[in-house]
Amino acid sequence: MIPSYGYAFGDEAVHAFTALPAKRRIKLLQVCECLARHPHQPGDYHESGLSGRIYQLTLSDDLLITWWVDDAAREVRIVRLECID
């Protein structure tokens, strides 16, 4: 059986996560677990970083999650969280 993917928050995402109310943090963790279960499903949008890496962007309610898949580490890397008003 192939091991599942995990997820990891980058520094910027950790700061945004800790600023969220508890109910939104729980919802966000559910979304991250779903991303880890289906890491190669494309996001709602995508963008290129300065290094050329393609980032996926997933919109969940009013939160935009920027992430990429690190296949070598078997992790979904959550790099940015933005509240969309």
Q: Write down the pLDDT at residue 78.
A: 98
Q: 84 vs 11, 50, 57, 63, 64, CA distance in Å?
A: 20, 23, 13, 6, 7
> What confidence tier does 73 reach under pLDDT thresholds 50, 70, 90?
very high
State the sign of the Cα–Cα–Cα–Cα dihedral 38, 34, 45, 51: negative
Tell me the average pLDDT across 54-72: 95
SS3 content of the chain, % helix, strand, coil (to 5): 30, 40, 35
Residue 80 φ then ψ, to 5°: -150, 145
